[in-house]
Structure 1
Amino acid sequence: MDEGTRNGLRFELLGPLRALRDGAEVPLGPPKQRAVLAVLLLQEGRSISYDGLVEAVWGGAPPLHVRNLVQKYVSGLRRALGDAAELSWTGSGYRLTGADIDDLRERRRLVDEALAARRAGELWRAGELIERAEVLWRGDFAEGLQAPYLATERVRWAEKRLTVLEARLAGAIELGQSFEYVHELVRLVAAHPLRERLVELLMLALYRTGRSSDALSAYEAARQRLAEALGADPGPPLRSLHTRMLRQDRDLLPPPPLAVS
Protein backbone atom coordinates (compact mmCIF):
# COMPACT_ATOMS: atom_id res chain seq x y z
CA MET A 1 0.00 0.00 0.00
CA ASP A 2 1.46 3.37 -0.93
CA GLU A 3 2.09 6.28 1.43
CA GLY A 4 -0.70 8.38 -0.08
CA THR A 5 -3.23 5.57 0.51
CA ARG A 6 -2.03 4.98 4.07
CA ASN A 7 -2.47 8.64 4.92
CA GLY A 8 -5.70 9.11 3.00
CA LEU A 9 -4.20 11.57 0.50
CA ARG A 10 -2.64 10.98 -2.89
CA PHE A 11 -0.38 13.79 -4.13
CA GLU A 12 0.33 14.27 -7.84
CA LEU A 13 2.67 16.67 -9.65
CA LEU A 14 2.82 15.27 -13.20
CA GLY A 15 0.46 18.02 -14.29
CA PRO A 16 -1.33 20.55 -12.07
CA LEU A 17 -0.66 19.86 -8.40
CA ARG A 18 -3.51 17.99 -6.80
CA ALA A 19 -4.27 16.04 -3.66
CA LEU A 20 -6.90 13.32 -3.84
CA ARG A 21 -8.84 11.73 -1.00
CA ASP A 22 -10.90 8.71 -2.04
CA GLY A 23 -10.68 9.95 -5.63
CA ALA A 24 -12.01 13.44 -4.82
CA GLU A 25 -9.76 16.49 -5.14
CA VAL A 26 -8.91 18.30 -1.91
CA PRO A 27 -8.89 22.14 -2.06
CA LEU A 28 -5.33 23.35 -1.53
CA GLY A 29 -5.83 27.10 -1.49
CA PRO A 30 -4.53 29.92 -3.70
CA PRO A 31 -1.73 29.46 -6.26
CA LYS A 32 1.15 30.61 -4.03
CA GLN A 33 -0.01 28.37 -1.21
CA ARG A 34 -0.06 25.49 -3.68
CA ALA A 35 3.44 26.47 -4.81
CA VAL A 36 4.62 26.32 -1.19
CA LEU A 37 3.15 22.82 -0.91
CA ALA A 38 4.80 21.70 -4.15
CA VAL A 39 8.21 22.91 -2.97
CA LEU A 40 7.76 21.16 0.38
CA LEU A 41 6.68 17.92 -1.29
CA LEU A 42 9.75 17.98 -3.52
CA GLN A 43 12.01 18.05 -0.45
CA GLU A 44 10.89 14.44 0.18
CA GLY A 45 10.75 14.78 3.95
CA ARG A 46 13.82 17.00 4.26
CA SER A 47 13.69 20.37 6.00
CA ILE A 48 13.93 23.57 3.97
CA SER A 49 14.98 26.81 5.65
CA TYR A 50 12.67 29.82 5.73
CA ASP A 51 15.03 31.72 3.42
CA GLY A 52 15.26 28.71 1.12
CA LEU A 53 11.48 28.45 0.92
CA VAL A 54 11.12 32.15 0.13
CA GLU A 55 13.81 31.93 -2.55
CA ALA A 56 12.17 28.83 -4.04
CA VAL A 57 8.69 30.37 -4.24
CA TRP A 58 9.36 34.09 -4.86
CA GLY A 59 12.95 34.28 -6.08
CA GLY A 60 15.17 37.25 -5.28
CA ALA A 61 12.38 39.83 -5.08
CA PRO A 62 9.83 38.62 -2.51
CA PRO A 63 6.90 40.86 -1.51
CA LEU A 64 7.32 43.22 1.43
CA HIS A 65 5.32 41.15 3.92
CA VAL A 66 6.56 37.77 2.77
CA ARG A 67 7.01 36.42 6.32
CA ASN A 68 3.34 36.97 7.03
CA LEU A 69 2.47 35.29 3.73
CA VAL A 70 4.59 32.24 4.53
CA GLN A 71 2.92 31.89 7.93
CA LYS A 72 -0.51 32.32 6.33
CA TYR A 73 0.17 29.68 3.68
CA VAL A 74 1.64 27.22 6.17
CA SER A 75 -1.44 27.59 8.36
CA GLY A 76 -3.68 27.14 5.34
CA LEU A 77 -1.86 23.99 4.30
CA ARG A 78 -2.09 22.52 7.78
CA ARG A 79 -5.86 23.00 7.68
CA ALA A 80 -6.12 21.56 4.18
CA LEU A 81 -3.98 18.50 4.91
CA GLY A 82 -5.42 17.76 8.33
CA ASP A 83 -3.88 14.66 9.86
CA ALA A 84 -2.89 13.22 6.47
CA ALA A 85 0.56 14.83 6.70
CA GLU A 86 2.54 16.83 9.22
CA LEU A 87 3.91 20.26 8.31
CA SER A 88 6.22 21.29 11.12
CA TRP A 89 8.77 23.96 12.00
CA THR A 90 12.01 22.22 12.96
CA GLY A 91 13.73 25.25 14.46
CA SER A 92 15.73 25.79 11.29
CA GLY A 93 13.14 25.25 8.59
CA TYR A 94 9.84 23.75 7.48
CA ARG A 95 9.42 20.04 6.94
CA LEU A 96 6.53 18.08 5.45
CA THR A 97 6.40 14.45 6.56
CA GLY A 98 3.93 11.64 5.99
CA ALA A 99 3.44 12.77 2.38
CA ASP A 100 4.76 11.43 -0.88
CA ILE A 101 4.38 12.46 -4.53
CA ASP A 102 2.62 9.32 -5.62
CA ASP A 103 2.68 9.77 -9.39
CA LEU A 104 6.41 10.56 -9.36
CA ARG A 105 7.13 7.44 -7.34
CA GLU A 106 5.00 5.31 -9.67
CA ARG A 107 6.73 6.80 -12.70
CA ARG A 108 10.18 6.08 -11.28
CA ARG A 109 9.23 2.46 -10.62
CA LEU A 110 7.80 1.95 -14.12
CA VAL A 111 10.79 3.58 -15.83
CA ASP A 112 13.26 1.56 -13.74
CA GLU A 113 11.42 -1.64 -14.67
CA ALA A 114 11.38 -0.58 -18.33
CA LEU A 115 15.13 0.03 -18.35
CA ALA A 116 15.72 -3.36 -16.74
CA ALA A 117 13.48 -5.01 -19.34
CA ARG A 118 15.34 -3.27 -22.16
CA ARG A 119 18.71 -4.42 -20.79
CA ALA A 120 17.29 -7.95 -20.75
CA GLY A 121 16.25 -7.62 -24.40
CA GLU A 122 12.52 -7.56 -23.53
CA LEU A 123 11.67 -4.67 -25.84
CA TRP A 124 7.92 -5.28 -25.91
CA ARG A 125 7.68 -5.22 -22.13
CA ALA A 126 9.92 -2.16 -21.92
CA GLY A 127 7.64 -0.31 -24.33
CA GLU A 128 4.51 -1.28 -22.41
CA LEU A 129 6.02 -0.09 -19.13
CA ILE A 130 7.07 3.24 -20.63
CA GLU A 131 3.58 3.75 -22.04
CA ARG A 132 2.13 3.15 -18.57
CA ALA A 133 4.55 5.74 -17.18
CA GLU A 134 3.53 8.21 -19.90
CA VAL A 135 -0.16 7.85 -19.01
CA LEU A 136 0.61 9.33 -15.58
CA TRP A 137 1.35 12.72 -17.16
CA ARG A 138 -1.67 15.09 -17.11
CA GLY A 139 0.18 18.15 -18.40
CA ASP A 140 3.43 19.95 -17.64
CA PHE A 141 5.16 19.31 -14.33
CA ALA A 142 3.48 21.38 -11.56
CA GLU A 143 1.54 23.07 -14.34
CA GLY A 144 0.25 26.56 -13.63
CA LEU A 145 2.35 27.21 -10.51
CA GLN A 146 4.65 30.22 -10.77
CA ALA A 147 7.79 29.81 -8.67
CA PRO A 148 11.48 29.88 -9.67
CA TYR A 149 12.23 26.50 -8.11
CA LEU A 150 9.27 24.89 -9.82
CA ALA A 151 10.20 26.47 -13.16
CA THR A 152 13.61 24.79 -12.92
CA GLU A 153 12.03 21.48 -11.95
CA ARG A 154 9.57 21.82 -14.84
CA VAL A 155 12.43 22.04 -17.33
CA ARG A 156 14.24 19.12 -15.69
CA TRP A 157 11.19 16.88 -15.75
CA ALA A 158 10.35 17.83 -19.34
CA GLU A 159 13.84 16.63 -20.29
CA LYS A 160 13.40 13.38 -18.36
CA ARG A 161 10.05 12.82 -20.06
CA LEU A 162 11.51 13.36 -23.52
CA THR A 163 14.44 11.04 -22.84
CA VAL A 164 12.06 8.26 -21.82
CA LEU A 165 9.88 8.89 -24.87
CA GLU A 166 12.94 8.61 -27.08
CA ALA A 167 13.75 5.26 -25.49
CA ARG A 168 10.21 4.04 -26.16
CA LEU A 169 10.34 5.16 -29.79
CA ALA A 170 13.78 3.62 -30.33
CA GLY A 171 12.48 0.32 -28.99
CA ALA A 172 9.43 0.46 -31.23
CA ILE A 173 11.61 1.05 -34.29
CA GLU A 174 13.84 -1.87 -33.29
CA LEU A 175 10.71 -4.02 -33.14
CA GLY A 176 9.77 -3.08 -36.70
CA GLN A 177 7.00 -0.63 -35.75
CA SER A 178 8.40 2.33 -37.67
CA PHE A 179 5.22 2.98 -39.66
CA GLU A 180 3.06 3.29 -36.52
CA TYR A 181 5.28 5.99 -35.01
CA VAL A 182 6.21 8.21 -37.96
CA HIS A 183 3.43 10.72 -37.26
CA GLU A 184 4.31 10.93 -33.57
CA LEU A 185 7.95 11.55 -34.45
CA VAL A 186 7.00 14.27 -36.95
CA ARG A 187 5.00 15.96 -34.20
CA LEU A 188 7.81 15.67 -31.66
CA VAL A 189 10.43 17.04 -34.06
CA ALA A 190 8.14 20.00 -34.81
CA ALA A 191 7.80 20.64 -31.06
CA HIS A 192 11.55 20.18 -30.39
CA PRO A 193 13.24 21.16 -33.67
CA LEU A 194 16.79 21.27 -32.27
CA ARG A 195 16.68 17.89 -30.54
CA GLU A 196 18.93 15.73 -32.67
CA ARG A 197 17.98 12.37 -31.14
CA LEU A 198 14.38 12.87 -32.28
CA VAL A 199 15.60 13.71 -35.78
CA GLU A 200 17.66 10.49 -35.80
CA LEU A 201 14.63 8.44 -34.85
CA LEU A 202 12.43 10.17 -37.43
CA MET A 203 15.02 9.59 -40.15
CA LEU A 204 15.33 5.92 -39.24
CA ALA A 205 11.55 5.43 -39.11
CA LEU A 206 11.15 7.07 -42.51
CA TYR A 207 14.01 5.06 -44.01
CA ARG A 208 12.62 1.79 -42.73
CA THR A 209 9.21 2.51 -44.24
CA GLY A 210 10.71 3.02 -47.70
CA ARG A 211 10.83 6.82 -47.52
CA SER A 212 14.58 7.30 -47.89
CA SER A 213 14.25 10.64 -49.69
CA ASP A 214 12.06 11.97 -46.86
CA ALA A 215 14.64 10.73 -44.35
CA LEU A 216 17.41 12.64 -46.14
CA SER A 217 15.17 15.71 -46.34
CA ALA A 218 14.60 15.50 -42.59
CA TYR A 219 18.37 15.58 -42.09
CA GLU A 220 18.79 18.60 -44.35
CA ALA A 221 15.99 20.46 -42.57
CA ALA A 222 17.60 19.72 -39.20
CA ARG A 223 21.01 20.82 -40.48
CA GLN A 224 19.56 24.16 -41.57
CA ARG A 225 17.74 24.66 -38.26
CA LEU A 226 20.88 23.99 -36.26
CA ALA A 227 22.93 26.34 -38.43
CA GLU A 228 20.40 29.15 -38.18
CA ALA A 229 19.60 28.78 -34.48
CA LEU A 230 22.97 27.75 -33.04
CA GLY A 231 25.53 28.28 -35.77
CA ALA A 232 26.38 24.60 -35.40
CA ASP A 233 26.50 21.46 -37.51
CA PRO A 234 24.68 18.25 -36.59
CA GLY A 235 26.48 16.11 -34.06
CA PRO A 236 28.42 12.93 -34.92
CA PRO A 237 25.51 10.46 -34.40
CA LEU A 238 23.22 12.36 -36.77
CA ARG A 239 25.96 12.88 -39.36
CA SER A 240 26.89 9.21 -39.17
CA LEU A 241 23.29 8.13 -39.74
CA HIS A 242 23.05 10.46 -42.73
CA THR A 243 26.24 9.01 -44.23
CA ARG A 244 25.03 5.44 -43.70
CA MET A 245 21.77 6.26 -45.46
CA LEU A 246 23.62 7.75 -48.41
CA ARG A 247 25.63 4.52 -48.61
CA GLN A 248 22.44 2.45 -48.23
CA ASP A 249 23.93 0.59 -45.29
CA ARG A 250 22.16 -2.77 -45.07
CA ASP A 251 22.23 -2.63 -41.27
CA LEU A 252 19.65 0.17 -41.49
CA LEU A 253 17.07 -2.11 -43.10
CA PRO A 254 14.08 -3.04 -40.93
CA PRO A 255 14.35 -6.21 -38.87
CA PRO A 256 12.66 -9.33 -40.23
CA PRO A 257 9.07 -9.86 -39.07
CA LEU A 258 8.61 -11.91 -35.95
CA ALA A 259 7.88 -15.56 -36.66
CA VAL A 260 4.31 -16.62 -35.94
CA SER A 261 4.11 -19.97 -34.18
Structure 2
Amino acid sequence: MGGVGMSAGMRFELLGPLRALRGAEEVPLGPPKQRAVLAVLLLQEGRPLSYEGLVDAVWGDEPPVHVRNLVQKYVSGVRRAFASAGTTDATGTTGGPALTWTGSGYRLSDAVADDLRERRQLVDAALAARESGQLRHAGELVDRAEALWRGEFAEGLNAPYLAAERLRWREKRLTVLEARIAGEIELGRSFEYVHELIRLVAAHPLRERTVELLMNALYRTGRSSDALLAFEEARRRIADAMGADPGPALRSLHERMLRQDPELLTTRTSAPVPAA
Protein backbone atom coordinates (compact mmCIF):
# COMPACT_ATOMS: atom_id res chain seq x y z
CA MET A 1 0.00 0.00 0.00
CA GLY A 2 3.11 2.18 -0.07
CA GLY A 3 2.72 5.61 1.47
CA VAL A 4 -1.09 5.70 1.44
CA GLY A 5 -2.15 7.59 4.57
CA MET A 6 1.44 8.03 5.70
CA SER A 7 2.11 10.44 8.55
CA ALA A 8 3.56 13.77 7.42
CA GLY A 9 7.27 13.19 6.94
CA MET A 10 7.43 10.18 9.25
CA ARG A 11 6.05 6.63 9.22
CA PHE A 12 4.76 5.07 12.45
CA GLU A 13 4.19 1.34 12.98
CA LEU A 14 2.50 -0.53 15.83
CA LEU A 15 2.08 -4.07 14.45
CA GLY A 16 5.10 -5.19 16.44
CA PRO A 17 7.45 -3.02 18.51
CA LEU A 18 6.59 0.66 18.09
CA ARG A 19 8.85 2.32 15.59
CA ALA A 20 9.06 5.60 13.70
CA LEU A 21 10.81 5.84 10.35
CA ARG A 22 12.07 8.90 8.52
CA GLY A 23 12.68 7.41 5.12
CA ALA A 24 14.85 4.35 5.74
CA GLU A 25 16.14 5.69 9.08
CA GLU A 26 14.59 4.56 12.36
CA VAL A 27 14.02 7.45 14.76
CA PRO A 28 15.07 6.86 18.41
CA LEU A 29 11.97 7.20 20.58
CA GLY A 30 13.41 6.99 24.07
CA PRO A 31 12.65 4.74 27.07
CA PRO A 32 9.70 2.31 27.22
CA LYS A 33 7.28 4.57 29.12
CA GLN A 34 7.96 7.44 26.73
CA ARG A 35 7.26 5.08 23.83
CA ALA A 36 4.06 3.98 25.58
CA VAL A 37 2.94 7.62 25.82
CA LEU A 38 3.56 8.02 22.09
CA ALA A 39 1.76 4.77 21.24
CA VAL A 40 -1.31 5.77 23.28
CA LEU A 41 -1.44 9.19 21.59
CA LEU A 42 -1.02 7.63 18.14
CA LEU A 43 -4.08 5.49 18.77
CA GLN A 44 -6.19 8.61 19.44
CA GLU A 45 -5.92 9.40 15.70
CA GLY A 46 -5.64 13.15 16.19
CA ARG A 47 -8.15 13.46 19.04
CA PRO A 48 -6.98 15.29 22.19
CA LEU A 49 -6.43 13.10 25.26
CA SER A 50 -6.79 14.70 28.67
CA TYR A 51 -3.97 14.59 31.20
CA GLU A 52 -6.05 12.26 33.40
CA GLY A 53 -6.85 10.05 30.41
CA LEU A 54 -3.19 9.79 29.48
CA VAL A 55 -2.18 8.90 33.05
CA ASP A 56 -4.90 6.24 33.25
CA ALA A 57 -3.93 4.80 29.84
CA VAL A 58 -0.21 4.54 30.63
CA TRP A 59 -0.13 3.83 34.40
CA GLY A 60 -3.63 2.63 35.32
CA ASP A 61 -5.28 3.05 38.72
CA GLU A 62 -2.06 3.35 40.74
CA PRO A 63 0.22 5.91 39.07
CA PRO A 64 3.53 6.83 40.73
CA VAL A 65 3.62 9.77 43.14
CA HIS A 66 5.43 12.09 40.74
CA VAL A 67 3.36 11.11 37.68
CA ARG A 68 2.79 14.74 36.60
CA ASN A 69 6.53 15.26 36.33
CA LEU A 70 6.83 11.99 34.41
CA VAL A 71 4.13 13.02 31.93
CA GLN A 72 5.90 16.32 31.30
CA LYS A 73 9.23 14.53 30.96
CA TYR A 74 7.94 12.00 28.44
CA VAL A 75 5.94 14.54 26.43
CA SER A 76 9.09 16.67 26.18
CA GLY A 77 11.05 13.57 25.18
CA VAL A 78 8.61 12.76 22.38
CA ARG A 79 8.87 16.34 21.12
CA ARG A 80 12.68 16.14 21.15
CA ALA A 81 12.54 12.89 19.20
CA PHE A 82 10.38 14.57 16.56
CA ALA A 83 12.64 17.61 16.45
CA SER A 84 15.76 15.50 16.04
CA ALA A 85 14.20 13.78 13.03
CA GLY A 86 12.68 16.93 11.52
CA THR A 87 13.30 18.03 7.96
CA THR A 88 13.15 21.53 6.56
CA ASP A 89 11.48 22.31 3.26
CA ALA A 90 12.24 25.12 0.81
CA THR A 91 10.26 27.64 2.90
CA GLY A 92 12.18 26.81 6.05
CA THR A 93 9.22 25.07 7.65
CA THR A 94 9.87 21.94 9.63
CA GLY A 95 7.67 19.10 8.51
CA GLY A 96 6.51 16.16 10.58
CA PRO A 97 4.28 15.27 13.52
CA ALA A 98 3.61 17.65 16.40
CA LEU A 99 2.57 17.01 20.01
CA THR A 100 0.70 19.99 21.48
CA TRP A 101 -1.47 20.87 24.46
CA THR A 102 -4.90 22.06 23.30
CA GLY A 103 -6.24 23.25 26.64
CA SER A 104 -8.35 20.09 26.94
CA GLY A 105 -5.63 17.53 26.35
CA TYR A 106 -2.54 16.38 24.50
CA ARG A 107 -2.98 16.17 20.75
CA LEU A 108 -0.69 14.35 18.33
CA SER A 109 -1.18 15.81 14.85
CA ASP A 110 0.18 14.88 11.43
CA ALA A 111 0.84 11.36 12.74
CA VAL A 112 -0.98 8.07 12.22
CA ALA A 113 -0.14 4.43 12.78
CA ASP A 114 0.51 3.81 9.11
CA ASP A 115 0.63 0.01 9.28
CA LEU A 116 -2.74 -0.10 11.08
CA ARG A 117 -4.29 2.05 8.37
CA GLU A 118 -2.74 -0.03 5.60
CA ARG A 119 -3.93 -3.23 7.26
CA ARG A 120 -7.49 -1.91 7.48
CA GLN A 121 -7.42 -0.97 3.79
CA LEU A 122 -6.13 -4.39 2.78
CA VAL A 123 -8.66 -6.26 4.94
CA ASP A 124 -11.54 -4.11 3.63
CA ALA A 125 -10.39 -4.80 0.06
CA ALA A 126 -10.16 -8.52 0.87
CA LEU A 127 -13.73 -8.53 2.22
CA ALA A 128 -14.97 -6.80 -0.92
CA ALA A 129 -13.10 -9.30 -3.10
CA ARG A 130 -14.55 -12.22 -1.16
CA GLU A 131 -18.10 -10.84 -1.43
CA SER A 132 -17.67 -10.55 -5.22
CA GLY A 133 -16.44 -14.15 -5.43
CA GLN A 134 -12.74 -13.40 -5.96
CA LEU A 135 -11.52 -15.81 -3.32
CA ARG A 136 -7.95 -16.12 -4.54
CA HIS A 137 -7.50 -12.36 -4.73
CA ALA A 138 -9.05 -12.01 -1.27
CA GLY A 139 -6.51 -14.49 0.08
CA GLU A 140 -3.65 -12.56 -1.53
CA LEU A 141 -4.83 -9.33 0.07
CA VAL A 142 -5.09 -10.98 3.49
CA ASP A 143 -1.56 -12.35 3.08
CA ARG A 144 -0.35 -8.80 2.42
CA ALA A 145 -2.14 -7.60 5.53
CA GLU A 146 -0.58 -10.41 7.57
CA ALA A 147 2.89 -9.50 6.26
CA LEU A 148 2.62 -6.12 8.02
CA TRP A 149 2.88 -7.81 11.41
CA ARG A 150 6.39 -7.80 12.96
CA GLY A 151 5.41 -9.26 16.35
CA GLU A 152 2.79 -8.58 19.02
CA PHE A 153 0.85 -5.32 18.85
CA ALA A 154 2.94 -2.55 20.53
CA GLU A 155 5.26 -5.32 21.65
CA GLY A 156 7.19 -4.76 24.86
CA LEU A 157 5.24 -1.69 26.01
CA ASN A 158 3.62 -2.08 29.42
CA ALA A 159 0.51 0.09 29.76
CA PRO A 160 -3.11 -0.86 30.59
CA TYR A 161 -4.54 0.78 27.48
CA LEU A 162 -2.01 -0.91 25.23
CA ALA A 163 -2.57 -4.28 26.92
CA ALA A 164 -6.29 -4.02 26.11
CA GLU A 165 -5.53 -2.99 22.53
CA ARG A 166 -3.07 -5.88 22.23
CA LEU A 167 -5.84 -8.33 23.11
CA ARG A 168 -8.25 -6.65 20.68
CA TRP A 169 -5.78 -6.77 17.80
CA ARG A 170 -4.87 -10.37 18.60
CA GLU A 171 -8.56 -11.24 18.20
CA LYS A 172 -8.87 -9.23 14.99
CA ARG A 173 -5.78 -10.93 13.57
CA LEU A 174 -7.13 -14.38 14.39
CA THR A 175 -10.53 -13.60 12.88
CA VAL A 176 -8.92 -12.48 9.63
CA LEU A 177 -6.70 -15.58 9.60
CA GLU A 178 -9.76 -17.80 10.03
CA ALA A 179 -11.50 -16.05 7.14
CA ARG A 180 -8.45 -16.56 4.92
CA ILE A 181 -8.28 -20.27 5.75
CA ALA A 182 -12.03 -20.64 5.18
CA GLY A 183 -11.55 -19.19 1.69
CA GLU A 184 -8.70 -21.58 0.96
CA ILE A 185 -10.82 -24.54 2.08
CA GLU A 186 -13.61 -23.38 -0.24
CA LEU A 187 -11.07 -23.41 -3.08
CA GLY A 188 -10.18 -27.03 -2.37
CA ARG A 189 -6.89 -26.47 -0.54
CA SER A 190 -7.85 -28.24 2.68
CA PHE A 191 -4.81 -30.53 2.83
CA GLU A 192 -2.40 -27.58 2.97
CA TYR A 193 -4.08 -26.13 6.07
CA VAL A 194 -4.74 -29.15 8.27
CA HIS A 195 -1.50 -28.81 10.25
CA GLU A 196 -1.90 -25.04 10.66
CA LEU A 197 -5.42 -25.58 11.99
CA ILE A 198 -4.25 -28.28 14.41
CA ARG A 199 -1.72 -25.76 15.75
CA LEU A 200 -4.38 -23.03 16.03
CA VAL A 201 -6.78 -25.33 17.88
CA ALA A 202 -4.00 -26.24 20.31
CA ALA A 203 -3.30 -22.54 20.90
CA HIS A 204 -7.01 -21.62 21.20
CA PRO A 205 -8.72 -24.80 22.45
CA LEU A 206 -12.09 -23.15 23.21
CA ARG A 207 -12.38 -21.23 19.94
CA GLU A 208 -15.19 -23.00 18.10
CA ARG A 209 -14.67 -21.35 14.70
CA THR A 210 -11.15 -22.78 14.52
CA VAL A 211 -12.43 -26.25 15.44
CA GLU A 212 -15.09 -25.91 12.74
CA LEU A 213 -12.44 -25.12 10.12
CA LEU A 214 -10.29 -28.04 11.26
CA MET A 215 -13.26 -30.40 11.01
CA ASN A 216 -14.01 -29.15 7.50
CA ALA A 217 -10.40 -29.51 6.39
CA LEU A 218 -10.14 -33.04 7.78
CA TYR A 219 -13.47 -34.11 6.29
CA ARG A 220 -12.59 -32.78 2.84
CA THR A 221 -9.30 -34.68 2.85
CA GLY A 222 -11.02 -37.99 3.52
CA ARG A 223 -10.43 -38.01 7.27
CA SER A 224 -14.04 -38.04 8.42
CA SER A 225 -13.27 -40.06 11.56
CA ASP A 226 -10.63 -37.52 12.58
CA ALA A 227 -13.10 -34.71 11.92
CA LEU A 228 -15.66 -36.31 14.24
CA LEU A 229 -12.95 -36.93 16.83
CA ALA A 230 -12.00 -33.24 16.68
CA PHE A 231 -15.61 -32.40 17.53
CA GLU A 232 -15.68 -34.81 20.48
CA GLU A 233 -12.43 -33.41 21.85
CA ALA A 234 -13.76 -29.86 21.53
CA ARG A 235 -17.03 -30.86 23.18
CA ARG A 236 -15.13 -32.29 26.18
CA ARG A 237 -12.94 -29.20 26.47
CA ILE A 238 -15.94 -26.87 26.39
CA ALA A 239 -17.83 -28.99 28.93
CA ASP A 240 -14.85 -29.10 31.28
CA ALA A 241 -14.15 -25.37 31.01
CA MET A 242 -17.69 -23.97 30.98
CA GLY A 243 -20.11 -26.77 31.71
CA ALA A 244 -21.80 -26.14 28.35
CA ASP A 245 -22.27 -27.73 24.95
CA PRO A 246 -20.67 -26.43 21.75
CA GLY A 247 -22.53 -23.67 19.96
CA PRO A 248 -25.13 -24.23 17.22
CA ALA A 249 -22.71 -23.78 14.29
CA LEU A 250 -20.35 -26.50 15.52
CA ARG A 251 -23.20 -28.84 16.46
CA SER A 252 -24.81 -28.34 13.05
CA LEU A 253 -21.56 -29.16 11.25
CA HIS A 254 -21.18 -32.31 13.38
CA GLU A 255 -24.71 -33.43 12.49
CA ARG A 256 -24.10 -32.80 8.77
CA MET A 257 -20.96 -34.91 8.91
CA LEU A 258 -22.80 -37.74 10.65
CA ARG A 259 -25.33 -37.86 7.82
CA GLN A 260 -22.58 -37.35 5.21
CA ASP A 261 -24.08 -34.22 3.68
CA PRO A 262 -22.64 -34.09 0.11
CA GLU A 263 -22.54 -30.29 0.21
CA LEU A 264 -19.66 -30.52 2.68
CA LEU A 265 -17.38 -31.68 -0.13
CA THR A 266 -18.28 -28.87 -2.53
CA THR A 267 -15.31 -26.75 -3.61
CA ARG A 268 -14.99 -23.68 -5.75
CA THR A 269 -12.19 -24.17 -8.23
CA SER A 270 -12.77 -20.78 -9.81
CA ALA A 271 -14.26 -17.56 -8.61
CA PRO A 272 -17.29 -16.11 -10.37
CA VAL A 273 -16.72 -12.90 -12.28
CA PRO A 274 -18.43 -10.03 -10.41
CA ALA A 275 -21.01 -7.93 -12.18
CA ALA A 276 -19.67 -4.72 -13.68
Range of TM-score over shorter length: over 0.9
- SS of 1:157's partner is helix
**1:177 counterpart SS class:** coil
Deviation (angstroms), 1:244: 0.6
- Whichever structure has more helix as a proportion of its residues is 1
The corresponding residue for 1:56 is 57
Give the stretch that moved more between structures: 70-79 or 13-22: 13-22
Kept in 1: contact 2:51–2:106 (CA 8 A): yes
Counterpart code for 2:160: P
Determine helix, strand or coil for the equivalent of 2:116. Answer: helix
Q: Deviations over 1:203-228 (max 9, x none)?
A: 00000000111101110110111111
The 1:74–1:251 alpha-carbon spacing in structure 2 relative to 1, beyond 3 Å, is same
Structure 2: gaps spanning 5 or more residues:
87-95, 272-276
Contact 1:3 1:99 (8 Å CA) reproduced: no
Structure 1 unaligned blocks of 5 or more? none
Change (3 A) 1:130 1:3: closer
Task: Calculate the TM-score normalised by the size of structure 2.
Answer: 0.91
Q: List structure 1 runs of 4+ shifted beyond 3 angstroms.
A: 1-5, 256-259
For residues 111-143 of structure 1, give each alpha carbon's deviation from its aligned partner in whole angstroms, at most 9, with x where no partner exists: 000000011011111111001101111111111
Aligned to 2:90: none
1:174 corresponds to which letter in structure 2? E
Is this contact kept in 1: 2:185–2:267, CA < 8 A?
Answer: no
Identify which of structures 1 and 2 has the higher relative contact order when contacts are C-alpha pairs closer than 8 Å and 6+ apart: 2
Deviations 1:1-45 (A, max 9, x none): 44536x331100011111112222211011000000000000000
Query: TM-score, structure 1 length as denominator?
Result: 0.96
Residue aligning to 1:235: 247
Contact 2:34–2:74 at 8 Å: present in 1 too?
yes
CA contact (8 A) 1:12 1:103 kept: yes
Q: 1:174 aligns with which of 186, 191, 200?
A: 186
Contact 1:3 1:98 in 2 (8 A): no
Structure 1 partner of 2:73: 72
The residue aligned with 2:108 is 96
- RMSD of equivalent CA atoms: 1.4
**CA gap 1:256/1:146 in 2 versus in 1, 3 angstroms:** closer
In the alignment of these two chains, the number of paired residues is 258
Q: Which residue of 2 aligns with 1:141?
A: 153
Q: Which amino acid aligns with 1:49?
A: S
